[in-house]
Amino acid sequence: MRSPRIFALLTVLASTALLTPPAQAVTTAQTSAATTYRGEGDRLLRVRATAKPGIVKITHDGEGYFSVWSLNPSGKEDDLLANQVGPYKGTAAFNTGASNRTAAFSIKADGAWTLQVLPLTKARSWSITSRGTGDDVLRLSSTSRGLRSLKVRHSGDGYFSVWTLDANGRIHNLVASKVGTYAGTVSLPPGTRYASVKANGAWSIVRR
């Protein structure tokens, strides 16, 4: 006959096993890095307030004006993440300023859209020669050092800019800024880890 003490111990262990979720479910919840939102037309999309820099992959299939702003907890516009008439596909960085804190995204659209929010570390790898069309964010494998240069080109007719960001994802330097086509060689500022590209046409960046 089992003693009352052993019986009580077995009861507690059985209860614990029933209450503990499967290990696979816990891992899945903890390792999910992306959050995707979908909608159509204008929307105020509230998110958990954060000051941590990140990226947003954005699409829009409408024909009219489309824009996405990040808003701070006071409802003030912080970062203009997308700004285009017609279909849009691009990636933008947010919370790159030291005082930025995002609590919502304000979307103006006449068609269906998607927003995928990810950590800044999920930005596209910045190879020796990187090419793209439209807005994008690039990530170096390590912070830049020494005297390096960037050969930059843009073939669009709208506004084009390249901002470098430091290892913490904060604004570092504006290395290119022009409306229309652009071709130039500029310095890659030491301490650069990311680059935020705004463009409405094809572009290329070659590191040297």
Q: Which residue has the tokens 């979720």?
A: 21
Round to whole Å and give the CA distance between 208 and 205.
10
Q: What is the pTM of this model?
A: 0.82
Q: Say how far apart CA 184 and CA 191 lie, in whole Å.
A: 21
pLDDT on residue 122:
96
Per-position pLDDT tens, the chain of length 208: 444 443 343 343 333 333 333 332 222 222 247 899 999 999 999 999 999 999 999 999 999 999 999 999 999 999 999 999 999 999 999 999 999 999 999 999 999 999 999 999 999 999 999 999 999 999 999 999 999 999 999 999 999 999 999 999 999 999 999 999 999 999 999 999 999 999 999 999 999 9
Look up residue 125 and give its amino acid. S
CA neighbor of 53 nearest in space, from 105, 113, 94, 6 = 94
Q: What does the block give as tokens for 14? A: 């059985």
One CATH from 3.50.50.60, 3.90.550.10, 3.40.630.10, 2.60.120.380 for 123-208: 2.60.120.380
Helix, strand, or coil here: 60?
Answer: strand
Per-residue confidence (pLDDT) for residue 41, from 0 to 100: 97
